[in-house]
Amino acid sequence: MKKLFLLVGLVLLLNFKTEAQKRGCTDVLANNYDSSAKINDGSCTYPSTSYSTKVVCSKLSDSLIETSGLMYYNNWFWTLNDSGNEPAIYAFDSITGAIIHRTFIKNKTNIDWEEMTQDSQYIYIGEFGNNDGTRKDLKVYRIQKSQLSFSQKSDSVNADELQFNLADQTSFVSANQNHNYDIEAMCIWHDSLHLFSKDWVDGKTRHYAMPRVPGNYSLIPRETLDAGGLVTSACTNSKGDKIILGGYSKTVGGCFMWLLYDFQNGYFFSGNKRRIDLGNALSFGQFEASAFKGQQLYVSNEKYFTSASFRRVEVQQWFAGYRKISLLPPSKLLVYQWCNELVIETKTGTGVLKLYNAIGTCVITYKINNVSTNIDISLLSAGVYTIDVNGVTQKVLIQK
């Protein structure tokens, strides 16, 4: 009898452990969300989603028509141009598109710069565009932020470099836009640079990783995603829990982005993978670059049928931590809540924002210098508040 009780207990324990560790889709926004699943197995599927980007600047400077990388640093957005242009990175005004500052990399040339990213000390430039598939001199240039001088409109710096090759590429015969070993996308995650292939033939992308220090590396693909097009951009948010891949279709010119999140151990394709369609090249241009400012995503496009432009994507709405704030009528401002942040859009772009609680006490004063402002509300209680932006007021209901 004791053995029978022991056996029954063991079976119940195993069933409990199995249930506690059940794998499945854990994203409440997915088609196949499983409320009993405890471990995300990357199986989530999502409804077909199309989105129109919000135009921040409809025309960048004529010097930036081949914008191919994007980042936010020193309160400015920065970009670079791709093949054959001057070896420089540019800070630009996100409203007018005018160049604010230009930094020349004096000891390098621009064969085909395709991406830029950053950490706290360095800016990284991807010298790895490879339309023909013949390049054996793939590199990432690295410049120290401490070298930059913002006291004048232009400066010049030196860069060191990281050299690499793709270990899975064995043929270097010229095959213009007809091979799978182009590279245009790169971001930083933890202690490594992460690169993504632009597969002209099969529309997939392979994920590679390498250290962030100068050296010569042979990169082995870690994983593959059927992207359904050409991946030209990658970025990650400051927390490192979300990766955005952007690109366009070779055949029909449709632009898209992939949202990658809830992944495991730096294998970005192991978690949730949601595709958002962004229109075609006739309306959007050719998607080339993306960057986060706080939790807000911005993108730029190369001049194609349209001008090179700078746009915003309200990416928060596709993550489970997002809430649309309840605006109490009449609505004058556009406000979102992203976990413990308010995202507030204004038309003025600059000024002072004040947030008042229900008894009229000002609890937050914030100087704004952009059309989209992120404010930390982690210390506030749920309830009705009043937002005042340059005299325009709006009551909102903050949720917790």
91-105, 324-338, 353-367: least confidently modelled range: 324-338
Between 91 and 34, name the one with better pLDDT. 91
| Cα separations in angstroms, 334 against 291, 322, 328, 397 | 21, 14, 12, 13
Nearest-angstrom CA–CA distance, 346 and 367? 13
Nearest-angstrom CA–CA distance, 342 and 232? 30
Average pLDDT over residues 271-293: 91
286-295, 347-356, 360-369: least confidently modelled range: 347-356
The pLDDT value recorded for residue 355 is: 93
Give the highest mean pLDDT range of 291-305, 320-334, 362-376.
Answer: 291-305
Nearest-angstrom CA–CA distance, 6 and 302? 68
The residue type at 119: D
The residue type at 142: R
The pLDDT value recorded for residue 18 is: 47
What residue has token string 């640093």? 73
The pLDDT value recorded for residue 233 is: 98
Average pLDDT over residues 283-311: 90
Between 370 and 303, name the one with better pLDDT. 303
Residue 345 pLDDT > 90: no
Residue 271 pLDDT > 90: yes
| Cα separations in angstroms, 123 against 120, 230, 306 | 9, 25, 29
The residue type at 336: Y
The pLDDT value recorded for residue 374 is: 76
Nearest to 296 by CA among 100, 61, 77: 77
Residue 351 pLDDT > 60: yes
The pLDDT value recorded for residue 157 is: 98
Domains along the chain with CATH numbers:
54-318 (2.120.10), 322-398 (2.60.40.3080)
The pLDDT value recorded for residue 21 is: 81
Nearest-angstrom CA–CA distance, 191 and 281? 35
Nearest to 27 by CA among 17, 37, 18: 37
Nearest-angstrom CA–CA distance, 135 and 171? 11
Kindly report, residue by residue over 39-57, the tens digit of the pLDDT: 999 999 999 999 999 999 9
CA angle 89/90/93 to nearest 5° reads: 160
Structure tokens at 122: 């360095």
Whether the CB-CB separation of 30 and 258 falls below 8 Å is answered with: no
Q: What percent of the chain has pLDDT over 70?
A: 89
Residue 83 has, within 13 A of its CA and on its CB side, a CA count of 8
Residue 193 pLDDT > 50: yes
| 3-state per-residue secondary structure call for the chain | CHHHHHHHHHHHHHHHHHHHCCEECCCCCCCCCCCCCCEECCCCCCCCCECCCEEEECCCCHHHCCEEEEEEECCEEEEEECCCCCCEEEEECCCCCCEEEEEEECCCCCCCEEEEEECCCEEEEEECCCCCCCCCCEEEEEEEHHHCCCCCCEEEECCEEEEEEECCCCCCCCCCCCCCCEEEEEEEECCEEEEEEECCCCCCEEEEEEECCCCEEEECCCEEECCCCEEEEEEECCCCCEEEEEEECCCCCEEEEEEEECCECCEHHHCEEEEEEEEEHHHHCEEEEEEEECCEEEEEEECCCCCCEEEEECHHHHCCCEEECEEECCCCCEEEEECCEEEEECCCCCEEEEEECCCCCEEEEEEECCCEEEEECCCCCCEEEEEEECCEEEEEEECC
Between 45 and 340, name the one with better pLDDT. 45
Nearest-angstrom CA–CA distance, 23 and 299? 34
Average pLDDT over residues 207-217: 97
Bridge partners, residue 333, by sequence = none
Q: In what side-by-side order are the strands of the sheet with 160-166?
A: 113-118, 122-127, 138-144, 160-166, 216-219
Q: What percent of the chain has pLDDT over 90?
A: 66
The pLDDT value recorded for residue 16 is: 47
Burial class (CB in 10 A: 0-12, 13-18, 19+), 349: middle
Kindly report, residue by residue over 138-177, the tens digit of the pLDDT: 999 999 999 999 999 999 999 999 999 999 999 999 999 9
- The reported pTM is 0.80
Nearest-angstrom CA–CA distance, 242 and 261? 5
Residue 38 pLDDT > 50: yes
The pLDDT value recorded for residue 201 is: 97
Nearest-angstrom CA–CA distance, 75 and 80? 17
Nearest-angstrom CA–CA distance, 138 and 218? 11
pLDDT range class, residue 391, cuts 50, 70, 90: confident
